[in-house]
Amino acid sequence: MNITKEQIDDLNAVVKVALTKDDYQDKVDTILKDYRKQANIPGFRKGQVPMGLIKKQYGKAVLVDEVNKLLQDNLNKYLTEEKLDVLGNPLPKQQESLDWDAEELAFEFELGLAPSFDVKLKTKKAITQYKIVADKKMVEEQVERIRKQYGKIVSKSEVGKNHELTGIFKNEAEEIEHKTTLELDKVKSKKALDTLLGKKVNDTVTLKTKGLFKEDYLLSAALGIDREKAEKLNIEVEFTIEEINERELAELNQELFDKIFGEGKVSSEKELKAKIKEDSEKQFEQQADQKLLNDVTEKLIEETKFELPKEFLHKWIQVSGENPLTEDEAKEEYEKSEKGLRYQLIEGKIINENNLQVQFDELKEFAKGFIKSQMAQYGHLNPEEEELENIAARVMGNQDEVKRMSEQLMSQKLLNLYKEKANLKVKEISYENFVKEVYG
């Protein structure tokens, strides 16, 4: 066997493989002998079928199969040994006719080669790293929510300021009929508030949807419709009152603190607010980190310039899927995936150049941390180490979970690298302003 490479340009090459009968004939003959032993052909005893008949019936198929296996194995070995960084898989060049009985068989494969490029983490323009702070207003609102959540519900005979109303919204034309709880402190429309004040159970009022709530997202939940529909809605709806309640706020005392955070963890209103601020900012950090990761990714794709073997990738996409694509379909698919491919190459280079690796022990600890946070959401705050070990062992036995967590851990390592080496400018911002600035 002889394998050679012809370099077409920096991004394309052709590998030529020449096989002689010595490379495959012994293997073909062995398989055909096995076929002969097992063959059941009318008119012949088992194992006594003439070899000429076996060759005539099975010879070509066995030869083709063995040659393809030989090509695949040796081509992969060649690419590894030559350290060729290829995109997609080698594509066999079409041959008009191939004489399978010839003394030598020649095959050619097109290669798409990964480009050579440099990645500069210090981008030309600084990338904003958001530090989301829980401001005084947010902390006070959270304290209020806690006091409401753990307070007493007292039934009232008529609607008063800041009461909660349970009732049904209706509009036949829009097919709306939805039971909900309406908190008056979240209602923005003064006209709606004036209409509701003083009403009693079983009273029905008509309210306008536009500008009804202080926050736009509340309308979709109240009416039981999707947010896209709610954003465009400007109609009148009927609201029939079924319950009128007032929440008496819970006292900020040790009993409440222990109930929320565990015994002795918080012992004053000042500590409560500090804890709320700390927990909120820890939660916000995940959002800020994801935003940073997305922004660095976009900036690296924008500033890291290199060419790709487009024509080769078009051909490869055409034939690599479950169903073959047309040339136009393959081009369209390439356009959709080009950005992701570019970042995959950039990320791979960053990982290699900075020797970022995911070790088994740290992956296991990462899994335990994830399990612990999941358990905390269900009130299990202090699991035993043995319990965590057992659950982590089960998780690590699932290859899909291991792959998913490995990707998450590598993303965390990349994020830490970007925080250390990228061109960043830190911006402190409230959560409310972060949402406005980032999401509009």
Q: Does domain 152-248 have CATH number 3.40.190.10?
A: no
Strand 164-171 versus strand 236-248 pairing type: antiparallel
As a whole number of angstroms, the distance between CA 409 and CA 54 comes to 56
Radius of gyration of the chain (CA): 34
Do residues 402 and 396 make contact, with C-beta atoms less than 8 angstroms apart? Answer: yes
Task: Give the per-residue pLDDT at 321.
Answer: 85
Tell me: pLDDT of 291 over 90: yes
Using 50, 70 and 90 to split pLDDT, how confident is the model at 96? confident
Tell me: pLDDT of 45 over 70: yes
Tell me: pLDDT of 369 over 90: no
Task: Give the per-residue pLDDT at 381.
Answer: 63
Tell me: pLDDT of 36 over 90: no
Tell me: pLDDT of 379 over 70: no
Do residues 265 and 240 make contact, with C-beta atoms less than 8 angstroms apart? Answer: no
Enter the DSSP assignment of 358.
-
The torsion angles phi and psi of 250, rounded to 5 degrees, stand at -70, 150
Among the listed residues 105, 27, 33, the one whose alpha carbon sits nearest the alpha carbon of residue 66: 27
Using 50, 70 and 90 to split pLDDT, how confident is the model at 289? very high
How does the average pLDDT of the chain come out, rounded? 91
The torsion angles phi and psi of 3, rounded to 5 degrees, stand at -120, 125
Task: Give the per-residue pLDDT at 51.
Answer: 87
Among the listed residues 342, 327, 328, the one whose alpha carbon sits nearest the alpha carbon of residue 87: 342
**Token match 């006719």: residue?**
97
Task: Give the per-residue pLDDT at 383.
Answer: 80
Q: Which CATH number fits domain 267-439: 1.10.3120, 1.10.150, 1.10.1040, 1.10.10?
A: 1.10.3120
Domain positions in the chain: 2-113, 152-248, 267-439
**Token match 């935003």: residue?**
291
The torsion angles phi and psi of 431, rounded to 5 degrees, stand at -65, -40
Among the listed residues 191, 184, 180, the one whose alpha carbon sits nearest the alpha carbon of residue 242: 180
Tell me: pLDDT of 154 over 90: yes
Q: Sheet of 86-92: strands edge to edge?
A: 2-9, 12-20, 104-113, 86-92
Task: Give the per-residue pLDDT at 268.
Answer: 94
Percent with pLDDT over 70 in the chain: 99
Selected residue with higher pLDDT from 13 and 36: 13
Using 50, 70 and 90 to split pLDDT, how confident is the model at 42? confident
- Which positions ≥6 away from 293 have C-beta within 8 Å? 411, 414, 415, 418
- Give 169-187 pLDDT, tens digit per residue: 999 999 999 999 999 999 9
Record: fold of 2-113: Alpha-Beta Plaits (3.30.70)
Using 50, 70 and 90 to split pLDDT, how confident is the model at 85? very high
- Which positions ≥6 away from 174 have C-beta within 8 Å? 225, 233, 235
Tell me: pLDDT of 370 over 90: no
Do residues 185 and 193 make contact, with C-beta atoms less than 8 angstroms apart? Answer: no
Selected residue with higher pLDDT from 48 and 164: 164
Q: What is the mean pLDDT of residues 405-424?
A: 95
Using 50, 70 and 90 to split pLDDT, how confident is the model at 409? very high
Is residue 270 exposed (0-12), middle (13-18) or buried (19+ Cβ within 10 Å)? Answer: exposed
As a whole number of angstroms, the distance between CA 404 and CA 132 comes to 27
The torsion angles phi and psi of 197, rounded to 5 degrees, stand at -60, 130
Tell me: pLDDT of 219 over 90: yes
Residues listed for the chain: 440
